[in-house]
Amino acid sequence: MPNTASSSQRLGQISAHLDNSKMSVFQNVPQAPADVIFSLTAGYKADTHPQKINVGVGAFRTDELKPYVLPVVKKADAILFNDPNLDHEYLPIAGTPSYTQAASKLILGENSPAIQQGRVGGVQTISGTGANHTGAAFLSQYYTKSRKVYISKPTWANHRAIFGGVGFQVEEYPYWDPETRGLNYQGMLQCMRDAPNGSIFLIHACAHNPTGVDPTPEQWKGIAEVMKAKDHFPFFDCAYQGFASGDLDRDAWAVRYFVDQGFELFVAQSFAKNFGLYGERAGNLTVVSKSPADKQRVLSQLEKLQRAEISNPPAYGSRIVDIVLNDPALYAEWKENLQYMSNRIITMRKALYERLVALGTPGTWNHITDQIGMFSFTGLKAPQVKVLKEKYHIYMTDNGRVSMAGLSTRNIDYFAKAIDDVVRNVAV
């Protein structure tokens, strides 16, 4: 029978059924705080000031401050669009094999002995966050040596949420030294020595988020040595391969070194930044185990977890990556696109440094050019960040992290002068 009641009549009927003497089943749900990174984007979008700047979220922008669709992605898109066999069937639960294999090869290297020995596998995930989460969920069930996960201090806020969310006790290892504005190498090593044997360490493979500070190869060797002696499990997060230095192999150096040292490990890979596929959620969890049989059992459990959480991964972004990674000409072109992005960031680092020096801004600023990747950890403090937002309409996280991609030849002077003002005039 058609519902002929007007909407106000229906509202009245429904209200009559609401028993206000009983509390809502959601009565005790607390309000969650806004996300520290994405709330900045929302604030920036709502701001009408003509000189507003968003250096909050880590997303690449062109010098015109526009999102960048990589030319190679456009080509792969055209291939997909014209493929008469393309359909919208489900992908396998663990993802497309050619994609996960190419992703593992990308991080571990073309001639990786671990791959040749058949002890490497992968699961396609919802970008890097999904890879972190799937790996964390697996470890929370099957890793028995420790219930402790160590993340860097400062951290990318999501790491704590992801590992805490699956029941791990999350601790922090020192990473940033405010005095040198560089790596607190000794503090990090000491924490690794003091941690219970077999702890899980979440390590950024390159372009550390939020600091932009990476260990040198010599320091990586020292880190691997301590981790081996303590039987710690390395969980690498690799969100910037190729984007950090412009060189895919260089950015993968630490992971490959650990594999060469005989570690079993996980690598969470994201193709958000290096392919500009942010919203398409293309990621991969690479598993390096001791033997093909270990790998097989681990993959079977990862697949089971994945089935329960997302059933099977989204197709579009991974298809783009799959096409590019498996076509030598497109792969070569991708490397050029990566160089363009990393060079633009390096140029902006230099430009900011030069302006701050020219303005005589108190303090030292060489850390801006020493740091690598999407972010610079400026050393600015929360009260200064607040004034930057209120007076200058510049949006950045409270910890003073700047996404260098939000700077361009169009806004760099305004930005540098604003920094100069808050450094001189805002007490911290």
**Residue 102 Cα to chain centre, angstroms:** 20
133: amino acid identity, one letter: H
Site for ligand LMR in 260-319 (CB under 6 A): none
Q: Single out the residue of 44, 68, 150, 156 in contact with ligand LMR (rule: CB under 6 A).
A: 156
Q: Which one, 125 or 158, has the nearer CB to ligand LMR?
A: 158
Taking the complex as a whole, how short is the minimal distance between the CB of residue 375 and ligand LMR, in angstroms? 8
Among this protein's residues, is 253 annotated catalytic?
Answer: no
- Helices 217-229, 185-194: axis angle to 10 degrees equals 10
Q: Which one, 72 or 268, has the nearer CB to ligand LMR?
A: 268
382 burial via Cβ count (<10 Å: 0-12, 13-18, 19+): exposed
Taking the complex as a whole, how short is the minimal distance between the CB of residue 411 and ligand LMR, in angstroms? 19
- Residue nearest ligand LMR (C-beta atom): 58
Taking the complex as a whole, how short is the minimal distance between the CB of residue 423 and ligand LMR, in angstroms? 23
213: amino acid identity, one letter: V
Q: How far apart are CA 303 and CA 320, in angstroms?
A: 22
Q: Which one, 96 or 399, has the nearer CB to ligand LMR?
A: 399
289: amino acid identity, one letter: S
Catalytic one among 156, 176, 334, 365? 156
Number of residues in contact with ligand LMR, rule: CB under 6 A?
A: 6
- Identify the DSSP state of 90: P
Q: How far apart are CA 162 and CA 130, in angstroms?
A: 9
Taking the complex as a whole, how short is the minimal distance between the CB of residue 270 and ligand LMR, in angstroms? 8
Instruction: Based on the shown chain and the rule CB under 6 A, indicate whether residue 131 belongs to the binding site for ligand LMR.
Output: no
Among this protein's residues, is 237 annotated catalytic?
Answer: yes
Among this protein's residues, is 156 annotated catalytic?
Answer: yes
Instruction: Based on the shown chain and the rule CB under 6 A, indicate whether residue 37 belongs to the binding site for ligand LMR.
Output: yes
161 burial via Cβ count (<10 Å: 0-12, 13-18, 19+): middle
Catalytic one among 52, 75, 105, 273? 273
Q: How far apart are CA 10 and CA 17, in angstroms?
A: 11
Q: Which one, 185 or 236, has the nearer CB to ligand LMR?
A: 236
Q: Which one, 58 or 276, has the nearer CB to ligand LMR?
A: 58
Q: How far apart are CA 280 and CA 171, in angstroms?
A: 31
Length of the chain: 428
Q: Single out the residue of 112, 209, 306, 399 in contact with ligand LMR (rule: CB under 6 A).
A: 209
Catalytic one among 237, 322, 334, 365? 237
Q: Single out the residue of 53, 55, 57, 120 in contact with ligand LMR (rule: CB under 6 A).
A: 57
Site for ligand LMR in 58-77 (CB under 6 A): 58
Q: Which one, 208 or 232, has the nearer CB to ligand LMR?
A: 208
Q: How far apart are CA 205 and CA 216, in angstroms?
A: 12
245: amino acid identity, one letter: S
Phi and psi at residue 63, to the nearest 5°: -65, -20
Strand locations in 160-289, DSSP E?
169-174, 176-177, 182-183, 200-204, 233-238, 265-270, 282-288
Instruction: Based on the shown chain and the rule CB under 6 A, indicate whether residue 212 belongs to the binding site for ligand LMR.
Output: no
Task: Show which residues are catalytic.
Answer: 156, 237, 273
Residues that bind ligand LMR (CB under 6 A): 37, 57-58, 156, 158, 209
